[in-house]
Structure 1
Amino acid sequence: MVLTPTRELMERAAEAGTGQGAFNVIHLETAEGLVAGAEFAGLPVVLQISQNCAEYHGGLEPLALATLAIARRASVPVAVHLDHAEDEQLAYQAVDLGFGSIMYDGAHLDYSENVTVTRRVADYARARGVYVEAELGKVGGKDGAHAPGVLTDPAEAAAFVAATGVDALAVAVGSSHAMTERRASLDLIRIGQLKTALAVPLVLHGSSGVADENIVAAIAAGMTKINVSTHLNGFFTRAVREYLDENLSVVDSRKYLRAGREALTPEVSRLLNLFSRPPFQGTP
């Protein structure tokens, strides 16, 4: 199947009122496992490579080219996205490599500088047909997700989107990155306010720390793109650990990495099905 533009997947989900799963690639086996899960579900998926992951691999290009190749041979629609790029030049590189979307994360900058740089990145990407996501508010670590000034303000978000021309906005509504327990409390009222204030899809980062029922509620309130990384990394790592515990003499890394890769398939499929449920219409 031809590599699918992220814009197409996002517009389809936003129109239907469903969620679009976006899962992080850590290495080749992750990308393969994520696509296998999407194929098992028969549903589209967004594969994401973060700036941190690119730095781990010594640069974006090697993993990016492999991920794009995996996406192109998939039997379901697969888009490739650059996640959390704080490096402006990395965002341009991803566009030039053929990514369907990029996220420039200027949340660490003051508001005016965030607008300036995000607008510059958005202009470059959109001139080349690439979908652009940005962030406003701070989706941080486990501490401070509900602190004053951290959650995204709807009026400021509307002004930011208008000033930058981005296609989607990651908003801070109570989730936190890298959580290993699914106990984050989302501000569903704020999600609804943001949905009303903005004409672009909303993105939920830090979804690994959000329980299923709360993700479903967030989608119903207005979230479209649902980012998951740590939660799926746990499935991969537990399978590798179990395999090594049971096979103490193994030295061929393909054997235990295969176990990790295969462990992703059912959970990726389950999540994609969960996110793609039609919105509840109530009793006729």
Structure 2
Amino acid sequence: MPLVSTGELITAATAEGHALAAFNVITLEHAEATAAGAEEAGAPAVLQVSENAVTFHGGNVLAVAAAAAAVARASSAPLSLHLDHVVSVGLLHAAHEAGFSSVMFDASKMTYEENVGATAEAVRWGRQRGIWVEAELGRVGGKDGEAPLDAHAPGVRTDPREAAAYVADTGVDALAVAVGSSHAMTERTARLDHALIAELRAAVPVPLVLHGSSGVPDEEIRRAVAAGMVKINVGTALNTAFSGAVREYLDAHPAAVDPRKYLAPGRDAMAATVAHFLRTVG
């Protein structure tokens, strides 16, 4: 079916009282698995490509975006295309031509004042092109190249009053907040601050986004959605499922050289993971 915009999917999820799950796309198999899992669950989803993934593909955002979009259009599930954790303004400005309906502009490492200024400019640019813009306030650590970050350390979590001012000053369409999760967790042991989520929901007039959801147990995700989280980002859980299935196949077939033989079970494992998270959030 035709690509759907992320804004449309977020609006529908909010109206229906559940959340929308977004899945990181690194390879073609990630995109295919997301589409297959969404079809199995009978739910919409977001295919999101991070700046790190674009770098992995030699900086060619058009190629990876075209592949993900082609998979989405061939699917019977409602799917959107999102450009995630964009730091480079050049990549931000490539989003429209590449077909993304939404962007997460990440100025979270800047000072608060610099973050507000850079994000407000990104929002102005997006508004002129009909692109929905997400931003981050607080520190959801764990991204590649970052030092380990204690999600419960003082000053890491998002302050509700600051978040309200930030949304008002930048005009963002959604806000990723730090409430106890962390990127790149391979075990689902994170504990979220549900009281803080409720405070943020009361203070902030735009949808809230949970990054680092791979490390959050199902029940914690359900509680977060009930408290007001609308977009749930999943990445590492797909890679964990994929790598485990590939290792299992190669351990059982050490002479295998045809990548299709081990990529297929890896893709199937990711699809099952996608379907599981979609059922969890909605």
**TM-score tier (shorter):** over 0.9
The offset of 1:31, in angstroms, is 0.6
Q: In 1, distance between residues paired with 2:172 and 2:118?
A: 12
How far residue 207 of structure 1 moved from its aligned partner, in angstroms, is: 0.6
Contact 1:95 1:102 in 2 (8 A): no
Deviation at 1:72, TM superposition (A): 1.4
Cα distance in 2, alignment partners of residues 95 and 135 from structure 1 = 21
> Cα deviations across residues 97-150 of structure 1 (Å, max 9, x unaligned)?
110110000000011111111111111112111111000000013532111111
Equivalents in 1 of 2:204, 2:96: separation in Å?
25
Instruction: Measure the CA separation in 2 of the matches of 1:116 and 1:138.
Output: 18
Tell me what 2:122 maps to.
121
- After superposition, what is the alpha-carbon deviation per residue over 1:142-181, rounded to whole angstroms, capped at 9, x for unaligned? 5321111110011111111111111000000010110111
Paired position in structure 2 for 1:265: 271
- 1:117-266 to 2 correspondence within 5 Å? 117-141=118-142, 142-266=148-272
TM-score by length of 2: 0.96
SS at match of 1:102: strand
Structure 1 partner of 2:49: 49
Aligned pair 1:274/2:275, yes or no?
A: no
Q: Deviations over 1:24-77 (max 9, x none)?
A: 011111111111110111110101111111111111221111111111121010
> What residue is the counterpart of 1:17 in the other structure?
17
The letter for the 1-side match of 2:152 is H
Distance in 1 separating the partners of 2:114 and 2:178: 19
The share of aligned pairs that are identical, in percent, is: 55
Q: Where does 1:99-118 land on structure 2 (aligned, <5 Å)? A: 99-118=100-119
3-state DSSP of counterpart to 2:129: coil
CA distance, structure 1, for counterparts of residue 175 and residue 97 of structure 2 = 22
Secondary structure of the corresponding residue to residue 149 of structure 1: coil
SS of residue paired to 1:127: helix
State how 1:79-94 maps to structure 2 within 5 Å. Answer: 79-94=80-95
Aligned CA RMSD, in angstroms, stands at 1.0
Q: One-letter code of the match for 2:92? A: A
TM-score (norm 1): 0.95
Q: Is the 8 A contact 1:136 1:169 kept in 2?
A: yes
| Runs of 4+ in structure 1 over 3 Å off | none
Stretch of structure 1 that moved more, 91-100 or 184-193 = 91-100
Amino acid at match of 1:174: G
CA distance in 2, matches of 1:266, 1:22: 15
Tell me which residue corresponds to 1:64. 65
| Deviation of 1:17 (Å) | 2.0
Equivalenced residue count is 276
Q: Distance in 2 between matches of 1:202 and 1:114?
A: 18
Q: CA deviation at 1:96?
A: 2.4
Corresponding residue number in structure 1 for 2:34? 34
Deviation sequence 1:214-266 (CA, Å, 0-9, x none)? 00000011101000111121111111111111112211112111111111222
Please, which runs of 5 or more residues in structure 1 have no aligned partner? 277-284
